[in-house]
Each structure stands twice: as C-alpha cells, then as structure tokens.
Homo-oligomer: A and B are copies of this chain.
Amino acid sequence: MGTARVVFDRWGDRYARRIASVRSSAVRDLFAAASMPDMISLSGGMPEVSRVPIAAVAQAASEAIMHEGAAALQYGSSEGREQIRTIIAELMAEIGVRLSPGEVVVTAGAQQALDLIAKAFIDPGDVIITEGPTYVGALQAFSAYQPDIRCIPMDDDGMRTDLLEEELKRLGPRGAKFIYTIPNFQNPAGVTMSPERRRRLLELAREYDIPVVEDDPYGRLRFEGGHMKPLRSLDDEVIYLGTFSKIFAPGLRLGWVTAPRPILAKILLVKQGADLCGSNFAQVTAERYFLGTRWRRVLQGLTATYSERRDAMLAALDEHFPPEARWTRPDGGFFVWVEMPPYVDCASMLAEAVEHGVTFVPGDGFYPDGRGRNCMRLAFCYAEPEKIAEGIRRLAEVLEDRLELYRAFIAAGAIEVEEGAA
C-alpha cells in the first residue's frame, strides 16, 4: 500500500473530520516486519490455523456448495442464514446463554459488530467506557465515530469496578453510551474478570442504565480452571459479540452479535448500508464444518497448542526478563501483558527489537491517549515454543541494553523512581 511513502495528498483538506482521529493499527503495520526471514513474531494475534485440518475444510466447502447450490452463491439475508444462526444459538447454549436464532445477527468477524455498534450508538463527543488497555481494533472501530473514551484500569481480576463506579458517579445516569469489556483473557492484558466483578459490573450498568458490550473471542480457549459465565448469561440485556475466528478460522470472516431486539434491529439497519449482507459462501461452509464433533477435537488441539506456548512464554519471561518487569499470567487466550517502570519507553524499543529479530506490540496502541508506552503486548499464540523462548531471550537483551542506561540515570539521580515502582 506504500503507506510508508510520502505522497502529496491534494485531497488532504477534503476528508471527514473523523479521519483525523482514526489511527492505523500498530498491529497491522507490524505484519510486514513479521514476515522477514528469521523474525520471531510475538506481535500478531493470529490463530494457529495450520492445526485446522485443511482437507476437512476443503471438503466442507465443496460439499456445502454442491448441497446448497445457487443459494451458496446468492445474496443472503442481512441477518445471516437461519442454519448458521441456529448453530450459533447452540454454541451460546453451551456457555450458559439461552437464545433463539432470531436474536443473532451474523457479522464479518466480531470486528464488524464493533463497527456497527459504534455506528448505531456514538455521536461525536459521546462518552464510552472501555478497559485500559483494550483491544486496538475496538479503538479503531470506535474512534471513527469520535467518542470520548474513558479507560478503566484492570488488575488480575479484570476491570476495577471500584474505579468504574467512580467514573460512573462523575458521568451520572446514562452518562456513557456503552461499557465495552473483554472479560475472558482480555486483549491485550490477558487477565480474566472474576465472577464478583462480573456481577458488580452488571449491577453498576443497571444502576446507571448503560448498555454493556461483551466481546468474547477467546472464551473457549481456557487452559485451566473452570469456565466462567459470560455476562450475557447473567443479564439478557448485554450485547454479546462472538466469533468463529478462534474456534474455526478467521479467513472466513464470520462473527456474530446478539442484543436486545430493538438494538439488534438498529445493528441490522446499519449493516445493510455497510455490506448489504454477509457471505452465504462462507456461512454454508461453516455450517458444514460444524456438523458432527470433529471441530471440538480440533479446538481441543488448538487450545492445547496455545497452552503449551503460554507455558513456554511464562517460563522464558521468568528466566530472561529483568527484575523491573511485571507481567500477567493468563489462564487462556493469546496474550501476556508486560509492564515496565514508567520511565521505560517500550514504543521506542520496537525498531531495536526488529533488528534483534523479534516483534512485539508497544502498549500505547491499546490506549486512546498515548498511555501504555511503558508496556508491551506479547502474543504466544502463533510462534512455536522454542521460537517463543528465543524471542523472549532476544527481547530481554533489548530491554537489558535500555535498562542499563536507565539504571545509570537512576543511580545519578536523573530519573526519580516512585516508591513501590519496579
């Protein structure tokens, strides 16, 4: 795309105001570096689709097309095929959510659902609440509608509902358009919201009359501990986003949203303008793939793979990372979040890391306001365990180089270290 090339833009003063607030995803921009030879990518949140049996998918596609005939090639309904929405309702029932296929709209990945929800709810200047840090794609989707994003910090039990309450008190009833949360194995923090916090979040949302948007791409990728009930199973007014990207494959671009019927009608309305309808071709293939039980064994295999890689990353972090670093210990999902002392600028270390043959995502990509520069998101989903160990070793070298300098500054009194930090 030559985004790196400087091209004079004679239309520069013609774009909508929103364009100024939309950023390119740092994660996307790293794709180029990630494909360099011998590069170890700890940046992209890409599923290990090589573990999905390719022949089974080819067969599912071929059989589905022959079986469905012209319907597979035609425009579909905007809400998606009844058949795949029935499968989605069954998947939801397995995690404790009872709903009918009529309460589901199929989207182009959960990402499209984020865009449609933002489009339906956000006027410029409207407040929305997210965790801080939060999913970079959500920030991208939301920022196009020019909201005022308030980030609530997390700890190992997820969003700090005490701080959420403080924010809601400041904003007052209906003071935000929605609260966006990723309760399971949060992207990028890797933490999971405790049952107590889930209940408290829903209480507060009801009290202040603010819709909750629950994004749950990783919920089924749990390595240990018991399944936690989704917010949607506790409160049927929660807007819930699911995706086939992590339980099947992202290449089909299939996700879904369920919401109270009036909200779903608005989502459907804006979806018509966005792409008319989803892909019948992808939907019939997924329907066929989810017949029988093979997909469950594949998903178990995927989860085992990610679990092993999580172990490799945590072991390597324990072994190689400097004492100044703290990191989360996720029970599932794709990501570990590393926090360095506030004086460490991880964003400025990325170029050096790439030179050392490893990529990560600097933390400021996961905040709307420049915070997080002292943090990094490390993805364990995509590299083999030995690669992860080597990648962490390389990254530790880069960190050590930088810390050596900072330690000298601190010893010289040039950097003040807050009590309790590091």
| A interface residue numbers (CB < 8 A to B) | 1-3, 7-12, 14-19, 22, 24-25, 28, 31, 44, 46-47, 49-50, 52, 54-55, 57-59, 61-63, 65-66, 69-79, 102, 108-109, 111-112, 114-115, 119-123, 126, 137, 140-141, 143-145, 174, 177, 211, 245, 249-253, 260-266, 268-270, 272-282, 285
> Within the complex, which residue of B211, B252, B273 is in contact with A141, where a contact is CB–CB below 8 Å?
B273
Q: Bound state CA distance, A8 and B252, in angstroms?
A: 35
19 contacts between A and B (CB under 8 A): A1-B78, A3-B268, A7-B265, A15-B121, A54-B69, A57-B65, A58-B62, A58-B65, A58-B66, A61-B281, A75-B250, A111-B275, A111-B276, A114-B273, A137-B273, A251-B280, A252-B279, A253-B278, A281-B282
A145 to chain B, nearest CB (A): 7
Is the Cβ of B74 less than 8 Å from the Cβ of A249?
Answer: yes
Q: Bound state CA distance, A251 and B2, in angstroms?
A: 31
Q: Bound state CA distance, A285 and B245, in angstroms?
A: 19
What is the oligomeric copy number?
2
**A19-B266, A250-B73 are known contacts. Are A276 and B109 too (CB-CB below 8 A)?**
yes
Q: Which residues of B contact A270 (CB under 8 A)?
A: 19, 22, 144
Q: Bound state CA distance, A268 and B140, in angstroms?
A: 12
> Within the complex, which residue of B18, B57, B65, B266 is in contact with A119, where a contact is CB–CB below 8 Å?
B18
Q: Which residues of B contact A109 (CB under 8 A)?
A: 275-276
Q: Bound state CA distance, A126 and B15, in angstroms?
A: 11
